[in-house]
Amino acid sequence: MSAAYRHQARHLNQMVDANNDTQAHMYLEQLLLFPVDIQDRIIDEISQLNNCNSDSIADILGHYSILELK
């Protein structure tokens, strides 16, 4: 997992902790260019983490950032 994902994860974690879904959606949309349905999945997965930390969030971001190769 890259340092960039960890950095993004820290910011996203702060937004989720503050219950600011709108800001989290805007962050994901503008900086990471995720479509809205993927944003919802990411935020949902983060909110269901047992141990919510930057590494767990970075793993989720990395999972959705990888393009599917066919």
In this structure, is residue 51 part of a structural domain? yes
Q: 64, 66, 29, 18: which is closest to 45 by C-alpha? A: 64
CA atoms within 13 A on the CB side of 23: 10
Contact 13, 46 (CB under 8 A): yes
- Res 70: pLDDT: 42
Q: Is the pLDDT of residue 1 over 80?
A: no
In this structure, is residue 11 part of a structural domain? yes
pLDDT digits (tens, 9 = 90+) for 25-64: 877 777 667 777 888 898 899 889 888 788 888 888 888 8
As for how many domains the chain has, the answer is 1
Q: Is the pLDDT of residue 66 over 80?
A: no
Structural domain boundaries enclosing 10: 3-65
In this structure, is residue 32 part of a structural domain? yes
Tell me the pLDDT band of 67, cut-offs 50, 70 and 90: low
Q: Is the pLDDT of residue 14 over 80?
A: yes
In this structure, is residue 70 part of a structural domain? no
